[in-house]
Amino acid sequence: MNNNLSKPHDRLALALSDEMAAVNTLIKLRMASEHAPRIPEVTAHLLDAGGKRLRPMLTLAAARMCGYTGPYHIHLAATVEFIHTATLLHDDVVDDSDQRRGRPTANLLWDNQSTILVGDYLFARAFQLMVETSNLRVLDILANASATIAEGEVLQLSAAQDVATTEEIYFRIIRGKTAALFSAAMEVGAVIAKKDKKTVQALSNYGDALGISFQIVDDLLDYTGTEATGKNIGDDFRERKLTLPVIKAIAAADANELAFWEKCISKGAQGEGDLEHALRLMSSHNALKDTHTQALYWAEKAKAALEMVPEHEFKPMLMDLSDYVVSRIN
């Protein structure tokens, strides 16, 4: 047996292989452009770099769990992936990134203008796909999610390098930039299947909690990860990002420690040994441990939401997925 199939997202991918193949075919068809060949070039560069396609799988799984037998969950899954890809393209420009999924970013290989415009094109394509479902409710959900994602990104930009950033602001940011699409991906799968409000809400809540846990873990791995997790230790610190471990350490800081954080985060005056000192401060105030506890809390909240959903072969996989997200820390 393939050891990868012990991972819940791989088991989910296998169970949804035919539908994911249809999603990928639709994505390739709709990312084409008759007049601007750079569009599929830029899009393919990112899409072909891998990625688990987790968000579209959540849409397909939700639709199947709710008994949907029509064709439009394929459209909605492709929509979700287009929205996600568009936000990644925009993010790389905003963050001035030079690597994504182990490859040079599109803005590095082409330019910022092309990357932003291709992201805009994918958003437009996403809305075309939504409209084809002839379901105003799914259009409403995904339009709101798109606005929330943009709002979260702008909030993150305005809070950047501000050591006064609170946990409340942090959770508002990650609920916008990450959890909103996880939640919408689950919700539209249930809505297209015309499921009852209780089940729709439960699946939406699962996606929200899973997305929050996912982002907390991602931020924690920046300080505790290994080569196997694909994270470079301290990237967020060097980029002066206010993530939960740092916010918790700052909240517990004395005057000298606060001066250190202001020097490194607010002013960007980082020197040799500063990352190691930051890690010591986070450890001494239990910031890393407390962040881990928060991730576990949201993972459990995701599983609790699923308890409200009728039994289905995908339900244990989604339960395991929630556990797997936080298991990456151990």
Q: How do residues 118-140 score in pLDDT, each as one tens digit? A: 899 999 999 999 999 999 999 99
- pLDDT exceeds cutoff 60 at 230: no
Is residue 272 one of the residues assigned to a domain? yes
pLDDT digits (tens, 9 = 90+) for 295-319: 999 999 999 999 999 999 999 999 9
Residue given tokens 């890393």 in the structure block: 288
Residue at 2 is within a domain: no
Give residues with Cβ within 8 angstroms of 60, minimum separation 6. Answer: 16, 19, 20, 23, 73, 74, 77, 189
Q: Into how many domains does the chain fold?
A: 1
The mean per-residue pLDDT over the stretch 200-214 comes to 98
Residue 217 CB contacts under 8 Å (≥ 6 apart), including other chains: 295, 325, 326, 328, 329
Residue 330's pLDDT is 63
Q: Look up the pTM and report it.
A: 0.92
Section 261-275 average pLDDT: 95
Mean local confidence (pLDDT), 250-270: 96
Tell me the CA distances in angstroms from 241 to 22, 91, 165, 267, 309, one per residue in order: 38, 14, 10, 12, 37
- The pLDDT score that the predictor gives to residue 3 is 46
Q: What angle do CA 68, 71, 72 make, to 5 degrees?
A: 85
> Rounded CA gap, 12 and 50, in Å?
16
**CA distance linking residue 193 with residue 196, whole number of Å:** 9
CA 288 to chain centre: 21
pLDDT of residue 41: 85
Q: Mean pLDDT for the chain?
A: 91
How would residue 1 be classed by pLDDT, with cut points 50, 70 and 90?
A: very low
DSSP string, 286-298: THHHHHHHHHHHH
* Domain range enclosing 255: 7-327
Structure tokens at 205: 């809540």
Q: Which of 98-102, 149-153, 321-325 has the lowest mean pLDDT?
A: 98-102
Does the structure show a pLDDT above 90 at 191? yes
Backbone angles phi, psi at 100, to 5 degrees: -145, 125
Instruction: Give me the pLDDT at residue 105, please.
Output: 76
Output the pLDDT for position 109.
75
Q: What is the pLDDT of residue 157?
A: 87
Do 185 and 56 form a contact (C-beta atoms < 8 A)? Answer: yes
**pLDDT confidence of 44, banded at 50, 70, 90?**
confident
Contact present, 215 and 325 (Cβ < 8 Å) = no
Checking if the pLDDT of 226 tops 90, the result is no
Percent of the chain with pLDDT over 90: 73
Exposure string of 218-229, with b = 16+ CB inside 10 Å and e = fewer, is: bbbbbbbbeeee
In a domain, 1, yes or no: no
Confidence of residue 99 (pLDDT cuts 50, 70, 90): low
Q: At 274, which amino acid appears?
A: D
CA distances from 25 to 31, 71, 75 (A): 10, 14, 11
d(CA 81, CA 126): 8
CA 265 to CA 183: how far, in whole Å?
Answer: 31
Is residue 295 assigned to a domain?
Answer: yes
Instruction: Read off the CATH number of the domain in which 169 is found.
Output: 1.10.600.10
Confidence band of 184 (pLDDT split at 50, 70, 90): very high
Among 42-51, 82-91, 145-154, the range scoring the smallest mean pLDDT is 42-51
The answer to the question of residue 199 being in a domain is yes
Q: Evaluate whether residue 107 is within a structural domain.
A: yes
Residue 142 identity (one-letter amino acid):
L
Q: Give 227's pLDDT tier (boundaries 50, 70, 90).
A: low
> Cβ distance 286 to 249 under 8 Å?
no
Residue 227 falls inside a structural domain: yes
Beta pairing, strands 99-100 & 103-104: antiparallel
Query: For position 329, what pLDDT does the model report?
Result: 78
Residue 175 gets which letter from DSSP? Answer: I
CA-to-CA distance for 138 and 235, rounded, in angstroms? 37
Among residues 123, 119, 127, which one has the least CA distance to residue 42?
119
